[in-house]
Amino acid sequence: VHRTQYKTQVIIMKFSAFILTCMAQWQMNASAFTLHPSKSSTYTSNVASLRTTPRTRGSSMPMIASSKDDQDGSIFRKNQASLKSSKAAKAKAKTVFKVKPSPRPDDFIKQNFEDDARIMARSQSSSGRVLGPKHALAYDTSLRDGTQGESVSVSCDNKLKIAERLAEFQLDYIEAGWPGSNPKDAEFFERAKTELSQDVQSKLVAFGSTRRKNILAKDDGQIRALVESGAPTICMVAKGHLWQVTDIIRATPEQNIEMISDSVSYLVGLGKRVFVDLEHFFDGFNFDPDYSMKCCQAAVEAGAEGLVLCDTNGGSMPWDVGSITAQVVDSFDVTVGIHAHNDCGMAVANSIMAVKNGCGLVQGTINGIGERTGNADLCSILPTLAFHVDSKITCSENLSDLTSLSRFVDETMNRKPDSSAPYVGASAFAHKGGLHVAAMERSPMSYQHIEPNLVGNGEEGSHQ
């Protein structure tokens, strides 16, 4: 009996010790959790996933401090100082944007945006095709962002040839390079003034960034290079993510707003058309939607013609892109664009979802070339908009030359064509299975979503 009582007491003591340990751990985590205030319902949901990840130098997202990695309290003091600065900035803000949390996948499937009359009105036509804006502008960045791909190399002579071919295809904008960053791009814009026709020159876009934080736009060398390029349109990258502002470029939130405003207003004052690429916009919106929207507001008030929302890390999902794009479209009376990367294989889907929700400009590259896993592929986006989405595109009458254009760009850049590429690949309309071949003999449309000749990839349509 005594032995049984002793064992029972030991078990109770161990269990009590376990409970006390759990409570202490919970209190420690709760204390760490309070270091970052929630900025919105969207941000609050994201905080939970960040709590257990240690803060490391060079990490892509801000982490919440714990007792193990903040023994001297330095991270706490830094976060508190950042918090005070953020609160002061918000107190001075005149405009308060009402933002809605992005729907999760299950909400997206269940509700299908039925509670949003504006989206529902353009969601589907009687034919079952997705409805978008009346016209979507095609913006090619193969000669700038595309050349940042690991296997991509193109000479200045070949860049001029590709620019001519892109203009011939009737793309609306051709982003040809960053004249303030390297000699090759500066040479391109100088030669373009005499070697390209006025029609091609009118479509050229020079890419650059906002001015540096401690210098005025009129005194910034890379801003001067944009002006001297002679391009009628400037696309300027700006930070649209609060954490990127404070931790990457080490500027205050107010400084970044001033950099956007001063840079845009200076170029507009010189007669340039200006688009603003808001880098990391979707990640930034989920982190602090108010600040991301204030970046948009600064660009619009300074005279920007368009806002381009960038999924810079390529990790956004279509339902987030659709919801966030709709909120920006509803808030500003300018062209809203999309710039998607393909790190999750979602670049084309995200671009189409953005168009469905009011985006009027799509940035991408021919064959999806670009940094890391590439950019959104215009060879997939353009025919999808033309044949499956009720959105007009300027180059719709030239889509029968799409396969030829795709292979021309690959050949000029010394790349091997992707045989399995949608629409333009050699295998895009090939059939091997017995059942498929038999059905195709009865009806060509039994296993094809469009006629191959519509994109120049049939026996008669393909040039190469």
Report whether pLDDT(429) > 70: yes
Please tell me whether residues 443 and 367 are part of one structural domain.
Answer: no
Helices and strands (H, E) in the chain, number of each type = 18, 10
The pLDDT assigned to 300 comes to 98
Examine residue 3 and state whether it is found in any structural domain, yes or no. Answer: no
Could you give the number of structural domains in the chain? 2
What's the pLDDT band for 431 if we cut at 50, 70, 90? confident
The answer, yes or no, to whether residue 22 has pLDDT greater than 80, is no
Spatial contact of 291 and 256, defined as CB atoms under 8 Å apart: no
pLDDT for the residue 27: 59
**Chain-wide mean pLDDT for the chain?**
80
Are 335 and 464 contained in the same domain?
Answer: no
pLDDT of amino acid 458: 82
pLDDT tens readout for residues 132-187: 557 899 999 999 999 998 888 899 999 999 999 999 999 999 999 999 889 999 99
Q: What is the pLDDT of residue 414?
A: 93
Average pLDDT of 86-110? 49
Report whether 208 contacts 226 (CB < 8 A).
yes
- Is residue 102 one of the residues assigned to a domain? no
* Tokens describing residue 438: 């038999």
- Quick one: average pLDDT of 413-438? 84
Range scoring the smallest mean pLDDT among 51-60, 88-97, 376-385, 450-459: 51-60
Burial track 298-308 (b if 16+ CB lie within 10 A, e otherwise): bbbebbbbbbb
Among candidate residues 194, 196, 148, 205, the one with its CA nearest the CA of residue 413: 148
Q: Picking from 2-11, 88-97, 182-191, 286-295, which range would have the lowest pLDDT averaged per residue?
A: 88-97
Whether residue 355 lies inside any domain: the answer is yes
128, part of any domain: yes
Answer whether residue 220 shows pLDDT above 70.
Answer: yes
pLDDT digits (tens, 9 = 90+) for 357-391: 999 999 999 999 999 999 999 999 999 999 998 78
What average pLDDT does this structure show over 38-45? Answer: 39
| 8 part of a folded domain | no
| Selection from 295-304, 384-393, 455-464 with the highest mean pLDDT | 295-304
CA dist list (Å): 408 to 117, 157, 189, 440: 44, 14, 22, 30
The predicted pLDDT at position 58 comes to: 37
pLDDT at 9: 65
Query: Which residue range is the domain that position 182 belongs to?
Result: 112-412
Q: How far apart are the first and last CA of the chain?
A: 93
173 DSSP β-pair partners = 139
Name the residue with higher pLDDT: 224 or 3.
Answer: 224
Both 231 and 308 in one domain: the answer is yes
Same domain, 449 and 339: no
Amino acid 85: pLDDT: 53
Least confident of 21-25, 143-147, 397-401: 21-25
Q: What is the mean pLDDT of residues 387-403?
A: 92
Same domain, yes or no, for 359 and 462? no
Domain contains 71: no
Q: Which of 116-120, 392-396, 408-412 has the lowest mean pLDDT?
A: 116-120
Are 175 and 228 found together in one domain?
yes
Q: What is the mean pLDDT of residues 307-331?
A: 97
Q: Which residue has the higher pLDDT, 149 or 240?
A: 240
**Is 313 domain-assigned?**
yes
| Whether residue 298 is found in the same domain as residue 440 | no
So what's the pLDDT on residue 20?
A: 67
- The pLDDT confidence band at residue 129, using thresholds 50, 70 and 90, is very low
pLDDT value of residue 195: 97
Stronger pLDDT, 121 or 409, i.e. the higher one: 409
- 72 within some domain: no
Q: How far apart are CA 399 and CA 403, in angstroms?
A: 8
Residues 194 and 323 in one domain: yes
Please check whether residues 309 and 452 belong to one and the same domain.
no
Q: What percent of the chain has pLDDT over 90?
A: 62
- State whether 314 and 455 are in the same domain: no
pLDDT of residue 354: 97
- How large is the average pLDDT for residues 203-231? 96
Same domain, residue pair 447 and 378:
no
CATH code: domain of residue 189: 3.20.20.70
Q: Where are the alpha helices (DSSP H) in 303-346?
A: 318-331
pLDDT in tens, 67-91: 344 444 444 444 445 544 544 444 4
343 in the same domain as 254: yes
CA distances from 213 to 210, 234, 246, 397 (A): 9, 19, 12, 45
State the Cα–Cα distance between residues 103 and 113, nearest whole angstrom.
9
